[in-house]
Amino acid sequence: MYPQENRGYPAPVEVTVGDRPPGVSAQNFTYQDPTLLDLHPHFGPVAGGTRLTIVGEDLLTGAEIAAYVGDLPCFLEEPVEPQAIVCRTSATTRPREARVKVQYGRVQRRLQKTFRYVKNPQLTGAFPATSFHGGGRTIYVEGTDLDVVQQPLIKAVLEPEEEAASGLSRKKRACDLPPGLQALLNQAPPRPCVEVGNLLECWEPCCANSSTLLLCPSPAVPPGARLRHVRFELDGLHVPFSNASGGEDFTYQPNPQLRWPGRDSGNRPFSLKPGNVLDIEGDGLTLGISKEEVTVIIGNSICTVKTLTLTPFCTASPPWSPRSP
């Protein structure tokens, strides 16, 4: 491929035509020997779509670079870097193992380790089937082999209103955020949904709780947009919500409207003794949530929700006076 003694030594290129003085390149040329060392992950579904990272040395060599898993192309996702190639696997017809290789023009480099295609995950249940437009409700997705997916997603596909598509921001939620007061108080910065052609796509990452359970926070969507469908994207396998839920379509409901106690007291603070019951009124409170999913915080303390109905709900204040966060 190259003179071994010149490996890694940068030098200009000289071109001589006939008796004319040689032309010297402004940039140096370096001989490199790309080496493949490892890959991650080592397996993925036969549906393809796994984001595969090939690790090595001098991987950015030459202008013609292509990656393959067996005889199937692995589509480059990002610009090749000297120590990493990122590509998306193709679909195959059956579970199997395949060698990973990278083609540099007419020269090929092979990785000793193999990538294993495994059978696609199966979804057998998804609930609940409704959420407020603001999103964030935990959707429980049941099935088998769910841990073979590198990045499971839940995605809402909508027909946007022009104003809603340009102005929507949503809160990006981290799957591994630990529960607790700080997790509730410290929200992630807003992130817009994405326009894809004439449609709007709003998505959230799911967490693989086990090989049989995914936890997916419902995506926030603009209230004025028309929902086409909600689906789960398991790398290259796309499953409509209705297929996973046994035929029930996912729906969105208007965000609840709350009328806080003491709203008519001007700027005076609302007085509540520790342990007293606080009645909060509103509209549409149960359309997209259950009592067990409601959290009420006063200062830096979490209150116990006693009841939740469509219009009012009540909560018991903590038995001590909470401090401001």
CATH number of the domain within which 95 lies = 2.60.40.10
Answer yes or no: is 204 within a domain.
yes
In eight-state DSSP terms, residue 150 is: S
Same domain? 100 vs 113: yes
Same domain? 229 vs 273: no
Q: 149 is in which domain, residue-wise?
A: 141-253
Residue 157 and residue 222 in contact, taking contact as beta carbons nearer than 8 Å: no
Answer yes or no: is 44 within a domain.
yes
Same domain? 191 vs 278: no
C-alpha of 87 from chain center: 17
pTM for this model (two decimals) = 0.80
Cβ-based burial of 122 (10 A; exposed 0-12, middle 13-18, buried ≥19): middle
Answer yes or no: is 131 within a domain.
no
Closest to 62 measured CA to CA, from 7, 105, 11: 105
Which amino acid, 58? Answer: D
pLDDT by residue, tens only, the chain of 325 residues: 445 444 556 767 778 887 888 877 777 767 789 999 999 999 999 999 999 999 999 999 999 999 999 999 999 998 999 999 999 999 999 999 999 999 999 999 999 999 999 999 999 999 999 999 999 999 999 999 999 999 999 999 999 876 544 444 445 555 554 455 555 555 554 456 999 999 999 999 999 999 999 999 999 999 999 999 999 999 999 999 999 999 999 999 999 988 766 556 556 666 667 777 777 788 898 899 998 898 888 778 888 888 888 876 666 555 555 555 5
Answer yes or no: is 321 within a domain.
no
CA distance 154 to 134: 15
The C-alpha torsion from 257 through 261 and 267 to 268, rounded to 10°, is -170
Residue 54 and residue 36 in contact, taking contact as beta carbons nearer than 8 Å: yes
Cβ-based burial of 174 (10 A; exposed 0-12, middle 13-18, buried ≥19): exposed
In sequence order, what are the residues at sequence separation of 6 or more whose Cβ sits closer than 8 angstroms to the Cβ of residue 5? none
Same domain? 199 vs 148: yes
Answer yes or no: is 192 within a domain.
yes
Beta strand extents in 16-169 (DSSP E only): 23-29, 35-40, 43-45, 51-57, 65-69, 72-76, 84-88, 96-104, 107-118, 122-127, 130-132, 138-144, 152-159
Answer yes or no: is 133 within a domain.
no
Domain count, the chain: 3
